[in-house]
């Protein structure tokens, strides 16, 4: 078998094993769509789903809010945002446009990160707000959702008469799929609203899993929040393994998102290939910026890893663990079981407990080795994880843990894959 490329940062690591040492390589299917990216987006905007064209909606509006994702998402905004803006102002050149970065509870992006994502022209020409979920002075309450959760959103929504969002659709380990309604919750929601949506109870729900939307309490509440917010139009894209746009879906947030994830699931669902050792990449930059994001790849691998087996995560982790609270919770117990018990008992009630909960849950069944050159070994081990400098060392560690040199299942683009569950 030729070397297997595993995305790592902005480059690759290569797994070189004989055929007899590979159980199976699980990949999302190739799209083989040859249209130019701008053509894909223009056609999507010209053919909205369950909605008039954005140009017609915006024709008599005064101020439009455009919600976009932050630096942790590979949304190709340099391409999409100019096309969205051109569509919006085509019949209304006087339309005022404000862009808001839907950070949820992520850190504030730097100016360099904004320029890298949007380009200097967008950053310098338009008013850009970076959402801060903790700043109550810039939040407004829209009311109670059916769950009893209070919906607090960025107050900018009161100052606009048109709300539009862009995003990309991929499997999401608790919300089913990213995109659509997630631009609102958690995107521009307040801290308390996000915490309630991401509660330990919701995280433990059997339907809060990748590729599942039906009876998923996290997804259901996100949809309700999007409807209450007045989100009127979205553009969502699907990206291939090279992060190139291969499909676009515009229109009403619910119908366009549904069309998008229905399209994607034909390409990303794979049969499990159970193994004692599973090697997974977190799909490279920006999704492998830190261990926090790496939990997504681990979650995919856990669905095809035998209990007591080993997950090897390939992730650059340029930002280390990424979130202080996440790390502090992971080292708060003498075992993953103890960490999990604390989270489920609401011992913490703090940001990032959901990621710690999922990681601790994985660690109760599997050992996890991270291949990275940007992490401290002692810190990693305190968090109940293991660290290896390269794939060869990681495999040798895994063989010792399992006690056998068994064939390995490999998932090169982890977060893009949904392992079918039966």
Residues known to be catalytic:
106, 172
Residue 196 CB partners (closer than 8 Å, separation 6+)? 147, 149, 150
- Cβ proximity of 226 and 153 under 8 Å: no
- Segments of 70-122 assigned E as strands: 96-102
- Closest to 416 (Cα-Cα) out of 302, 264, 286: 264
In Å, what is the CA distance from 135 to each residue of 158, 188, 354, 415? Answer: 16, 11, 21, 31
DSSP string across 317-370: -TTTT--HHHHHHHTSSSSHHHHHHHHHTTS---TTHHHHHHHHHHHTT-EEEE
Task: Give Cα 384 to chain centroid, integer Å.
Answer: 24
Tell me the C-alpha distance between 99 and 262, whole Å: 28
- Cβ proximity of 366 and 304 under 8 Å: no
Beta bridge partners of 4: 15
- Closest to 100 (Cα-Cα) out of 170, 44, 167: 167
């Amino acid at each position: 078998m030729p070397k297997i490329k595993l995305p790592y940062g902005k480059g690759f690591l290569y797994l070189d094993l004989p055929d007899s040492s590979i159980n199976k390589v699980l990949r999302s299917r190739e799209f083989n769509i040859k249209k130019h990216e701008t053509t894909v987006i223009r056609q999507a905007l010209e053919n909205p789903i369950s909605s008039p064209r954005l140009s017609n909606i915006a024709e008599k509006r005064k101020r439009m809010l455009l919600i976009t994702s932050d630096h942790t998402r590979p949304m190709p905004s340099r391409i999409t945002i100019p096309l969205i803006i051109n569509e919006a102002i085509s019949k209304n050149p006087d339309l005022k446009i404000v862009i808001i970065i839907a950070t949820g509870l992520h850190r504030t992006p730097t100016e360099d990160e904004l320029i890298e994502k949007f380009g200097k022209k967008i950053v310098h020409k338009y008013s850009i707000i970076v959402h801060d979920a903790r700043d109550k002075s810039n939040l407004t309450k829209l009311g109670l959702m059916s769950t009893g959760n209070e919906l607090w959103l960025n107050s900018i929504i009161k100052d606009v008469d048109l709300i539009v969002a862009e995003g990309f659709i991929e499997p999401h380990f608790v919300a089913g799929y990213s995109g659509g309604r997630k631009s609102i919750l958690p995107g521009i929601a307040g801290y308390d609203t996000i915490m309630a949506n991401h509660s330990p109870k919701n995280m433990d729900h059997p339907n809060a899993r990748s590729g599942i939307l039906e009876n998923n309490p996290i997804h259901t509440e996100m949809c309700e929040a999007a409807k209450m917010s007045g989100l009127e139009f979205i553009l969502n894209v699907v990206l291939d393994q090279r992060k190139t746009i291969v499909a676009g879906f515009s229109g009403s947030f619910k119908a366009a998102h549904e069309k998008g994830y229905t399209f994607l699931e034909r390409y990303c669902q794979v049969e499990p290939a159970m193994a004692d050792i599973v090697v997974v990449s977190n799909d490279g930059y920006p999704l492998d910026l830190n261990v926090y994001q790496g939990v997504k790849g681990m979650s995919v691998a856990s669905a095809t890893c035998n209990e007591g087996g080993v997950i090897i995560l390939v992730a650059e982790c340029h930002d280390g663990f990424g979130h202080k609270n996440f790390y502090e919770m992971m080292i708060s117990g003498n075992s993953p079981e103890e960490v999990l018990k604390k989270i489920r008992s609401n011992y913490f009630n703090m940001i990032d407990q959901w990621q710690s909960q999922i990681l601790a849950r994985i660690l109760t069944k599997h050992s996890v080795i991270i291949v990275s050159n940007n992490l401290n070994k002692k810190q990693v081990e305190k968090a109940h994880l293991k660290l290896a400098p390269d794939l060869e060392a990681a495999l040798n560690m895994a063989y010792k843990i399992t006690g056998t040199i068994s064939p390995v299942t490999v998932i090169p683009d982890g977060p893009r894959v949904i392992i079918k569950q039966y």
